Amino acid sequence: MALVAPLQTGADDPLRLREMLGRAASLATAHRLPSVVVGMAGREGDLLFPEVVAFFASALRMDDTILPPTRERVVMMLADVDREGAERIVRRLLAEFRERFATIEDPPLSLGYYEVAPGSGPLTVKQVLPTVFGVERSDESSEEDEAGDEA
């Protein structure tokens, strides 16, 4: 079972997230293998999302961590895998969730990944969260906007 940090609503939320990011960077460097920070967001008020989170927490390894900063968002740290490996793990767990819980379709989730390379140095919350929760624009949309600006 993965380490699950309790849901906090106070000023220590960013501190716990910083600790997780520091751990991801130190594990990547110590093991000389990447780690991946995964952001998973559900729809507001989705009653299935907490079940998905609980399932993930029970299925992940001891070295992995889940931090629920809000009811609709979770940050996970998957140790000793690259992005491709993290995507496979998440797909497998979602498939297992669908098999065990009678859901007609996939849970409505948004996923984002940030690979922490060995020796990448300290990570910041501002560096990682926009990537894992889709705030940053993709290169394709940026190129389209630039092309539109030139026209």
Q: What is the pLDDT of residues 80-111, one digit of tens each?
A: 999 999 999 999 999 899 888 877 677 789 99
β-pairing, 3-4 vs 65-67, is: parallel
* Secondary structure of 6-68 in HEC code, one letter for each residue: CCCCCCCHHHHHHHHHHHHHHHHHHHCCCEEEEEEEECCCCCCHHHHHHHHHHHCCCCCEEEC
Whole-number Å distance between alpha carbons of 18 and 124:
7
Q: What is the pLDDT of residues 21-47, one digit of tens each?
A: 988 888 888 888 899 999 999 998 888
- pLDDT mean over 126-132: 91
Closest CA to 90 of 126, 125, 119, 66: 66
- pLDDT mean over 13-21: 80
The CA distances from residue 120 to 34, 35, 95, 131, in Å, are 9, 11, 32, 16
Q: What is the pLDDT of residues 40-77, one digit of tens each?
A: 999 988 888 999 999 999 999 988 999 988 889 999 99
Report whether pLDDT(140) > 80: no
